[in-house]
A and B are shown apart, each in its own frame.
Chain A
Amino acid sequence: MMRRALASPRTRRLLVVALCGAPVALLAFAPGALADALTPESGGGSENAEAIDTLYKVALYIAIVIFLMVEGTLLWSLVRFRFRRRGPDAAQIRGNTPLELGWTIGAGLILLVLTAVTFIYLARIENPPASDPGGLQSQRGQLAALGQPAPPGGRSLDIHVNGQQYIWRFDYPGKPQLFSYHELVVPTGTTVTLKITASDVDHSWWIPKLGGKADAVPGHVNETWFKVERGEEGVYGGQCAELCGSGHADMRALVHAVTPAEFQAWSQRQRDDIKAAQEGLARQREQREKANEVD
């Protein structure tokens, strides 16, 4: 039956090539550049995202070599040693100790290389660098988050992030009070350290172009950082990456990177707005209380 279905060895070989080629071709012609389809997001000039991207690529290249070797040998065995009427008898081999030891040690060595590469890049991914000289100047010396070394020079903008069903709240240090929802405005050239928590269920903070995720867990403070380079001003999108309820898919987050001068102007405006709103609320409360007294 099968012999008729896949008529000749040549047809079968063609079929094998087509089947292997199709997914590769699919990837190549799918929307977006090939590089983008095979690597994580980066490009905000934030060193952590760039380093993750490089580390991933190193691992991917090793992986592609292993993948081709394993799949190649497997396919070759299947095609070359398929049943043939006048073919040689199957070799009755039960094992080969040097060969088996060889591939065990080989696999171990590859993993040792991966471990070494990971630890080489880890510092660049985990430790926040110093803000640029042109970065936000007025910021008083803030220690970076607990467990992370302080950025050299001790300057960073430390923002508290709070995940709530289904919105992000950002609290900036200093007085009068400054906070925002949904959109995190940050100055470029400045290291931004984030202290992340949640006030209801688990959420996960993630702006793909600005580095990895950090889960927001009630009762815990998680830490991450990013630094958008000067000249990379713009809006960076992301969304909550931990299922947090029915509105999870709509729990988006934006990082709006602006120049330090624009940031100063924005924070002044926002502080004034918050103050005005709070004063307005207080006035309303007073009026209501007065009205109640009259009643």
Chain B
Amino acid sequence: MEAAGTTTAATAARPEIVMHGLKERPRGWLEWLTTTDHKQIGILYLFTTFLFFIIGGVEALLMRLQLAAPNNTLVQPETYNGLVTMHGTTMIFLFIVPVLAGFANYMVPLMIGARDMAFPRLNALSFWLLLFGGIAFYAAVFFEPPQTGWTFYAPLSDDAYSPSGGVDAWIFLIHLTGISSLLGAINFVATIHNMRARGMSWGRMPLFIWSILVYSYLLILALPAIAAAVTMLLTDRHFGTDFFDATGGGDPMLWQHLFWFFGHPEVYIMILPAFGMISEILPVFARKPIFGYKAIAASTVAIAFLGMLVWAHHMFTTPTATVVLAFFMLSSFAIAVPTGIKIFNWIATLWRGQIVFRTALMFAAALPALFVIGGISGVLLAIFPVDWQLHDTYFVVAHLHYVLFGGSVFGIFAGLYYWFPKMSGRLLSEALGKTSFWTMFVGFNMTFLVQHSMGLSGMPRRIYDYSSTLHVSGYNLVSTIGSFILGIGVLITVVNVIASLKSGRRAGNDPWRANTLEWFTQSPPPPNNFDVVPRVRSVEPMKDIRREVEEVGRPAGSVAQPVASGT
């Protein structure tokens, strides 16, 4: 795409902006290293985080291989605990949270009709901090990876029990990715509050933008707690303090409270933007407006608020008074109401639609189907006496994967199939996409459905080995086979992306007949995003534009492509 200035200069009738003394932007790889363009930064985020997704996935497959049979000796217990820790940390801090930031980076300015993010250089800093956080963490592979699980419970993570530098590498990761997320969140808040197109009031903001706004506020509220906790852990490990050491007057429970005060909002940080994505995708492919816009936006805020008040439901088995447990049970129950509202609204959106089965729709419709299972097992876990049996077993592993894979990752894949044409200008192959979807769907359920039963039969999580007397060998074998099917499904999408980048069909500006402003500009969008930003009159500005075009009687392309029709 040519720069906007030269294009407008060519069409004589337009007002012309001439810029002097601007340096030429560097080309090639230097362009990517120095870019402050939100779209390029978005691509960098997406590429990096998908790379970490593959790494984390391979770690998961190694664990599943080890657990395929009882008394297996494929990996050492230390290696297994390292894999547990790396897998959890990678998926949460280096994949789901930042991949959502990647989509948001690319889409937020486009969806609200802005030229870029509010602070473009800060935006670049966010990405590079994330990358170096990931590198600092993975450097531990070359000495000794941490072996404490992604929760890093003190005193196990203290220097007495984890003397290796792996824990310190993790502390660096938390600080670097934490600052990255904080800066990114501040940037999103500033952008969404100040840079929306004319007419885009709060009630006309796309639901994905609502979810990113709430995601950002949650990050700002939750991250300081973990930053404080890991700093205390750092001084405990190296400077002789005893924050988490009971023998020195500290308290291991303090770690758990600080960690989960961050850790539970983190769960909603990971799921709300995926909810936002499918709230955009379902109406487009059902050819219907979203059902209950206000309820979905309000429930996003309600989930975030309640999400700050449920952290101790991760601590039901700790020495804690019953009245506290009862409070956290009730607050956790309460979250089921706004979550349920969302699911009912999505189903009502599909109801009496004309549902076009493209891959994006299939991933988007799988999200509520799978999330319901994770939501229901979540309510069972919230009943604290029941949690005494289920806590720290494979039941919890199944629950969290139904929420984070069935929820977030299926949402992220829906977003990928939906927005890839906008980002690349080319369509992904539908045949490969649907094959990938069904393979992932079958593999996912095969892997994680049986894990409920493993947990109910008494198999704790985070064990490298189990006895055949536990009667979970059959479940484990099924789960391992399923995980490889799931892996193949993901791989098909990777192939699809690589192939379609080169030879996918041209997408055009608006291949899906969608509702929001990003489809108004070209695919991929030019550096300045929009030459003309239309005035927003409803929550579906593109629908208004199409209707106007039909009334005037001109072909849709002439308005949807206001400038670059010559290129």
Q: Is the CB of A78 within 8 A of B388?
A: no
Residue contact A107 to B340, C-beta cutoff 8 Å: yes
Contact check, B352 vs A90: say whether CB atoms are below 8 A apart: yes
B458 near A238 with CB under 8 A, answer: yes
- Tell me whether A7 is interfacial, beta carbon within 8 Å: no
* CB contact under 8 A between A240 and B460, given known A74-B350, A95-B294, A212-B317: yes
**Chain A residues close to B by CB (< 8 Å):** 1-2, 5, 19, 22-23, 26-27, 30-32, 36-41, 49, 51-52, 55-56, 59-60, 63, 66-67, 70-71, 73-75, 77-78, 81-84, 87-96, 99-100, 103-104, 107-108, 111, 114-115, 118, 121-122, 125-126, 147, 165, 200-202, 204, 206, 208, 211-215, 217-223, 237-250
**CA A55 – CA B291 in complex, angstroms?**
36
Known interface pairs A93-B288, A215-B318, A243-B156. Does A37 touch B251 (Cβ–Cβ under 8 Å)?
no
**CB–CB B379/A114 < 8 A:** yes
Main secondary structure of the interface of B (DSSP, over half): helix
Residues of B within 8 A of A125 (CB): 385, 388
Interface centre among A32, A121, A122, A215 (most CB of B within 10 A): A215
Known: A103-B344, A217-B252, A220-B253. A23 touches B449 (CB 8 A): yes
Which residue in chain A gives the minimum CB-CB distance to B471? A32
Chain B nearest CB, measured from A24 CB (Å) = 9
| Interface pair A74/B365, CB less than 8 Å apart | yes
Hey, which chain A residues are within 8 Å of B345, CB to CB? Answer: 100
Q: How many A-B residue pairs have CB under 8 A?
A: 293
16 contacts between A and B (CB under 8 A): A5-B434, A27-B449, A49-B389, A70-B343, A70-B347, A87-B354, A89-B354, A91-B351, A93-B352, A99-B348, A200-B160, A201-B155, A206-B460, A213-B317, A220-B251, A243-B153
Smallest CB-CB separation from B332: which chain A residue? A111
Within 8 A of A (CB), among B503-523: none
CA distance A222 to B325 in the complex (A): 14
**Complex Cα spacing A19 to B155, Å:** 45
With A126-B385, A206-B460, A239-B460 known to touch, is A250 a contact of B465 (CB < 8 Å)?
A: yes
A67 with B372: CB separation less than 8 A: yes
Q: How far is the CB of B184 from chain A (nearest CB, A)?
A: 31
Q: Kindly state whether residue B462 has any CB partner on chain A within 8 Å.
A: yes
* Any A CB within 8 A of the CB of B391: yes
Residue numbers in A under 8 Å from B373 (CB-CB): 67
Assembled-state Cα–Cα distance A41/B341 (Å): 33
Interface-side segment among B18-26, B37-45, B202-210, B472-480: B472-480
Q: What are the residues of chain A within 8 A of B336 when measuring CB–CB? A: 107, 111
The answer, among B161, B353, B389, B431, for a CB contact under 8 Å with A41, is B389
How many Å lie between the Cα of A67 and that of B466 in the bound state? 31
- What are the 9 closest A-B residue pairs judged by CB atoms, nearest first? A212-B388, A219-B246, A249-B463, A208-B458, A91-B352, A90-B287, A222-B319, A218-B246, A31-B474
- Contact among B84, B147, B353, B387 for A81, CB-based, below 8 A: B353
Cβ of B356 within 8 Å of any chain A Cβ, yes or no, is yes
Q: A213 with B392: in contact, given A59-B383, A67-B373 (CB under 8 Å)? A: yes
- In the bound complex, do residue B430 and residue A1 qualify as a contact, i.e. CB atoms below 8 Å apart? yes
Name the distance in Å between B415's Cβ and chain A's nearest Cβ.
Answer: 19
Q: Which of A31, A118, A122, A237 contacts B473 (CB 8 A)?
A: A31
For A220, what are the chain B residues with a Cβ–Cβ distance below 8 Å?
246, 251-253, 318-319
Q: How far is the CA of A38 from the CA of B373 in the complex (A)?
A: 14
Report whether B318 and A222 are in contact in the complex, using a CB–CB cutoff of 8 Å: yes
Q: B436 at interface (Cβ–Cβ under 8 A)?
A: no
Q: Which residues of B contact A250 (CB under 8 A)?
A: 77, 465
* Min C-beta distance of B12 to chain A, whole Å: 42
Which among B160, B353, B430 has the greatest number of chain A C-beta atoms within 10 A?
Answer: B353
Q: Is B32 an interface residue (CB 8 A)?
A: no
**Are the CB atoms of B319 and A92 closer together than 8 Å?**
no
User: Which B residues are in CB contact (< 8 Å) with A52?
Assistant: 385-386, 388-389
Q: Which residues of B contact A (CB under 8 A)?
A: 77-78, 81, 84, 147-149, 153, 155-156, 160-161, 246-247, 251-253, 286-295, 317-319, 321-322, 329-330, 333-334, 336-337, 340-341, 343-345, 347-348, 350-357, 365, 368-369, 372-373, 376, 379-380, 383-393, 430-431, 434, 441-442, 445-446, 449-450, 452-453, 456-458, 460, 462-466, 469, 471, 473-475, 478
B352–A201 contact, CB under 8 A?
A: no
Are A204 and B392 closer than 8 Å at their CB atoms?
yes
Given A37, A94, A200, which contacts B155 in the complex, CB threshold below 8 Å?
Answer: A200
Q: Does A91 lie within 8 Å of B288, measured CB to CB?
A: yes
Instruction: For B330, list chain A residues within 8 Å (CB).
Output: 115
How distant is the Cα of A222 from the Cα of B319 in the complex, in angstroms? 5
Other-chain residue from A40, A71, A93, A237 in contact with B456 (beta carbon distance below 8 A): A40
B430 touches A82 (CB 8 A): no
Q: Given the complex, which residues of B lie within 8 Å of A204, measured CB to CB?
A: 317, 391-392
Cβ of B317: which chain A residues have Cβ within 8 Å of it?
204, 212-215, 222, 241
Given contacts A93-B352, A94-B289, whether A23 and B446 have CB atoms under 8 Å apart is yes
Asked whether A30 lies within 8 Å of B475 as measured between CB atoms, the reply is yes
B365: chain A residues within 8 A (beta carbon): 74, 78
- Establish whether residues A32 and B457, one from each chain, have CB atoms under 8 Å apart when the complex forms: yes
Chain A contacts of B149 at CB under 8 A? 243
B327 to chain A, nearest CB (A): 12
Q: How far is the CB of A167 from chain B (nearest CB, A)?
A: 16
In contact, B389 and A2 (Cβ under 8 angstroms): no
Closest B residue to A67 by beta carbon equals B376
Which chain A residues border B355 with CB–CB below 8 Å? 77-78, 81-83
Nearest residue in B to A122 (C-beta to C-beta)? B385
Please name the residue on chain A nearest to B161 by beta carbon.
A201
Closest CB in chain A relative to B401 CB, distance in Å: 14
Complex Cα spacing A223 to B355, Å: 55
* Beta-carbon contact of B351 and A81 below 8 Å: yes
Residues in B with CB closer than 8 Å to A114 are: 333, 379, 383
List the B residue with the shortest CB-CB distance to A244. B156
The minimal Cβ–Cβ distance linking A148 to chain B, given in whole angstroms, is: 9
Q: What is the minimal beta-carbon distance from A206 to any residue of chain B, in angstroms? A: 7
Closest chain A residue to B430, Cβ basis: A1
CA distance A202 to B153 in the complex (A): 8
Instruction: Establish whether residues A83 and B450, one from each chain, have CB atoms under 8 Å apart when the complex forms.
Output: no
In the bound complex, CA of A246 to CA of B162 (Å): 11
Contacts of B155 in A (CB 8 A): 200-202, 218
Closest chain-B Cβ to A183's Cβ sits at a distance in Å of: 16
- The smallest beta-carbon distance between B502 and chain A, in angstroms, is 19
> Which residues of A lie under 8 Å from residue B251 when comparing CB positions?
219-220
Partner of B392, one of A93, A122, A221, A242: A242
Contact between A100 and B292, CB atoms less than 8 A apart: yes
A94 to B288, CA, bound (A): 8
B442: which of A19, A36, A122, A208 is its contact (CB, 8 Å)?
A: A19
A115 vs B340: C-alpha distance when bound (angstroms): 17
A126 CB to closest chain B CB (Å) equals 7
Decide if B456 touches A41 in the complex (CB within 8 Å).
Answer: yes
- Residues of B within 8 Å of A222, CB to CB, are 317-319
Residues of B within 8 A of A39 (CB): 456
B357 and A55 contacting across the interface, CB-CB below 8 Å: no
Say yes or no: A26-B353 contact (C-beta < 8 A), given A81-B286, A246-B77. Answer: no
CB–CB B161/A245 < 8 A: yes
**Which chain A positions have C-beta within 8 A of B78?**
246
- Name the residue among B153, B293, B356, B458 with the largest chain A CB count within 10 angstroms: B458
Contact (Cβ within 8 A) A83 B453: no
- CB <8 Å contact, B356 and A83: yes
CA distance A222 to B320 in the complex (A): 8
**B452: which A residues are within 8 A, CB to CB?**
38
**Are A217 and B318 also in contact (CB < 8 A) when A41-B389, A78-B365 are?**
yes
Q: Is the CB of B357 within 8 A of A147?
A: no
- Give the residue name and chain of the B residue nearest to A51 (CB): B385
Which residues of A have CB within 8 Å of B246? Answer: 217-220
